Structures are given as C-alpha cells and as structure tokens.
Structure 1
Amino acid sequence: MQYLGLAALLGSVGLALLFVMARMGWRLDWLLGWFKGCFLIMLLSLSALLGLAAWELQQFRPITQQGPVAVLELTEAAPQRYAATLAANGTKRHVQLEGDTWELQIQVLRWTGLAKALGLSDGYRLARINGRYVTLEKQRGRNAALSGRLYGTPQWRDLWHWLDGLDNPQFIEADAFVVRYMPMADKARFAIDLDAAGAKPAALNPVALHALKPAG
C-alpha cells in the first residue's frame, strides 16, 4: 500500500502540472520560441567555431618545393646558450635556446578524400623550436632547456591539436615533422626545406657545415 499510495500521489501531482501547463500554454507558443532560441544559439556556436577554424587555417602555408620555408641563425651569448633568429614568411622570431643541439617541430595538415581530389594542398605551420643537451643528466636538470613556441593559439582552441586527437578525422588529418639533433654553433645558419615527405635541414655557411661534420 505504501508504494501504491506514493505512486498515486506522484501521478496526481503530475496530472496537476499537466493541467496547469495546458491552461497556461496550450497553444505551444513557448515551445516554438524555445526551439527558435536553441536554433539561434546553435547557429551562433557554429559561427564562432567556423571563425576560430578560419583564424587557425590562415596561419598555415601550402607545402611546396620552392626553396626553404625558414632560415635559422644562431649567435652564442654564453657557453651553451644561444640567441636564435628564425626567419619565415617574411617575419623574424627571436628565441633564447640552451643546450648542444636544436630541434624544430612543424605542424602539418593533410587533406584526404574528396578534399584531396579537389586539389587542396597540404599545409604547414612552424610550431616550436627547442634547445637540448646531449647529456641526459644536464637535460633533466634544465627541464628540457629553453624553448620557443612559434604561434600564439592556446591549446583549447588549437585546430591542429583537436584534429590530432581524433581517431578517424574526415577530409583533413593532423601530422607533424620534426628536425632533431641539429648542432648549435656560433654564427651558424641553417635552412629548412619542406616537402610532402618531411623537413630537411641544410647548412648555409661554413660554420654550419663544419658543425654537421662528425667529430674526429
């Protein structure tokens, strides 16, 4: 009887609420307004997402084989500490690096399926440059040394980061190229060539060429 009584009480309250709703809004004008409001919010959110995606895409450049995409010049400021100047796309970025070698991370967007068939070119964005020590103990002590992030998008709205986390992205995929273990030397200049297969560094002056030669 207890549960039957509770069920009857809840049912009565439900019927009373239904009666009140019918009396106040039986024409469902409020429901139409609610749907319209939800639809407008959805359009606003989609517009904001597309705007953020557009801002991200304009930071990428098509991958071509028309010369280097960046030139790196190093100037020694102190033992194992360098001022790095990275020239790319008509701009120069200045970064402080520590260590014996440097590495450059490049984010890549690859078009697939229909987008690829339409002729869209894969794109790239210079992401980060790091300095690293050869000895593991010193590298750990410096907590990966100094590094320079080369674009300002926070991770929570980073298009490449979100695509990289998808299992089966449609039309576009996130990829990455990394140039690793390049020696640092005073006055050394390196070029970064890029094609669909990856990034390749090249020495631009005798100092860089000498630094690339094996010791001994």
Structure 2
Amino acid sequence: MDALSPSLWIAVAAIILAVPGLGMAFGSRGLRPLRRLLGLALVALSLVSGLLAFTVYRYLQLFEDRQVAIIELKQEGPQRFRATVVLPPGPAGAPQGERQFVLSGDAWQIDARVLRWRLPAALAGVPSLYRLDRIGGRYDDIERERSVLRTVYALDDDPRLPDLWVLKREFSRWLPYVDAQYGSATFMPMFDGARYEVLFNDRGGLLAKPADEATAARLRQG
C-alpha cells in the first residue's frame, strides 16, 4: 500500500482513536460513567474509521490494472499477421505458456467474459473474475469486414474447466453473490513488430496499450 494513500492515513487515525478509547472504556473500574461512555464513543469512531479505510482501499483497487496477456505481431503478408499471445502465470505460478494465431485484417481484437460480485463478497475484497474468450482479426472497412472470411480463435477451449459465467446464466438464483456478467473487448492496430499489453481493470474491463516504445511511437505516427 502506498504510504501516501488516503486509506493508510484513515487507518492510522482509527488506531489513534482506538488506543485511548479502549483505555477509557475498559481500563480501571474506578472510571466515571461519562469517561467510560466517551471511551466507548472513541472505540466506535475508530471502528467506523477502520471500515472507511478499507472501503477507500477497495475503491482505489478498482483503478489498478492486472496484466492478462502480451500480444506480439509479425506480418506475413498484406493484412495478414502471425499473433503470438503470451498469457501470464496462473494460480500457484502455473505457467500458461503462449499460443500463435494467424489473423487477417487491420487490427486484432480480444474478448473476455467478466463477473462482478455483490456484498458481502465485494466488501471482503474478492476481485472481479475474467476469462479470456476469443481473439480475432478485424477490418477497418465495414464492407470488407462483411465480405471476407474472418479469422477468429477460441482462447478458452478446455471443456474440463467450469465456466462460472455460464453457470450464473443458467442457475442465477443459486449464485446470489454474482452481481453482473458481461462481455468486454479491446482492439488495436496490427503492424509488423507491434507489441501490446492487455490489461484487466475491475472498473473498466479489458484495455490494451503499447508494450514498448517502438510500438507507441508507431501509433503516434498514425
């Protein structure tokens, strides 16, 4: 946690309130009722401050981006590219490896399924879940997009893995803590040597940005 984060300062204030409050409320038995009542009020205020600190911390987490893929492109012909998709390590550091796809078009597009949570799961800090669904090429020209054969590939093609997104749709009343399920997508131009980073944000879903300065410079040129 950043030392300048508002949630940290609120948490410090909660501790400062709690220490004298506990002493006044549960210290010597000879304390006056008014002093004990003041101590209880300080303890209650510290608890509220602690809850506020956690809420602010969770809110700030919504703006943190999680890397979900690296996409590298190599041109093989006019509007034809080989895309290497590198996925980050999975649970317990299990490697996800890399996959290659041949994409046709002017840009690549990646889609994901997203699940958000209701209280109390959201308050407990359970992050939104994403599941990469597919990657494909797209043309800038709508008519060409309609007329040519599209190149689309599944990124999640293992039938052994349970799909909570589908389970929520089929058995919604049995999954009360799942708040919303929706699709999210992002796309970027394709050119030889391009390298992109795909991120997931709890607030905005998928987004992509250049993974190196060469790609960023090429995008600035238009």
Q: Which of 197, 202, 205 lines up with 2:212 in the alignment? A: 205
Deviation of the 1:116 alpha carbon: 2.1
Task: Report the counterpart of residue 166 of structure 2 in structure 1.
Answer: 161
Q: CA deviation at 1:166?
A: 7.2
Is the contact between residue 185 and residue 207 of structure 2 (CA under 8 Å) also seen in structure 1? no
* Shift of residue 132, structure 1, vs aligned partner: 0.4
**Alpha-carbon deviation of 1:102?**
1.2
In structure 2, do the counterparts of structure 1 residues 101 and 165 end up closer, same or farther at CA, with 3 Å as the change threshold? farther
The runs of 5 or more residues in structure 2 that have no matched partner are 1-61, 89-94
Question: How much does 1:199 deviate?
Answer: 2.4
What SS is found at the alignment partner of 1:187? coil
- In 1, Cα distance between the equivalents of 2:171 and 2:80? 38
Over aligned residue pairs, what C-alpha RMSD do you find? 2.6
CA distance in 1, matches of 2:85, 2:131: 13
TM-score by length of 1: 0.60
SS for the counterpart of 2:126 is coil
Of residues 161-170 and 109-118 in structure 1, the stretch that sits farther from structure 2 once superposed is 161-170
Structure-1 separation of matches of 2:142 and 2:76: 23
Q: Which amino acid aligns with 2:135?
A: I
> What aligned pairs does 1:40-79 form with structure 2 within 5 A after superposition?
65=64, 68-79=67-78
Q: CA deviation at 1:162?
A: 4.4
Unaligned runs of 5+ residues in structure 1 are: 1-62
Q: Supply the distance in 2 between the matched residues of 1:164 and 1:206 (Cα, whole angstroms).
A: 42
Alignment of 1:172-187 (within 5 A): 172=178, 173-180=180-187, 182-187=188-193
String of CA shifts for 1:103-140, please: whole Å, max 9, x gaps. Answer: 11122121112322333221112111110011112111
Q: TM-score, normalised by structure 2?
A: 0.58
Secondary structure at the counterpart of residue 120 of structure 2: helix
**Alignment partner of 2:67: what SS?**
coil
TM-superposed deviation, 1:146: 0.2
Partner Cα separation in structure 2 for residue 99 and residue 183 of structure 1: 9
2:119 equivalent among 109, 113, 116: 113
Q: Deviations over 1:157-214 (max 9, x none)?
A: 743134357777621132332113x100011000112221222211123442244236
Offset at residue 142 of structure 1 (A) = 1.8
Moved more, 205-214 or 66-75: 205-214
Q: Any residues of structure 2 matched to 1:1-216 within 5 Å, and which? A: 65=64, 68-89=67-88, 90=95, 91-143=97-149, 145-153=150-158, 158-164=163-169, 170-172=176-178, 173-180=180-187, 182-197=188-203, 198-213=205-220, 215=222
Rounded Cα–Cα distance in structure 1 between residues aligned with 2:214 and 2:171: 43
Q: Percent identity, aligned pairs only?
A: 29
User: Max radius of gyration: which structure?
Assistant: 1
Quickly say closer, same or farther: Cα 1:134–1:105, change in 2 above 3 A.
same
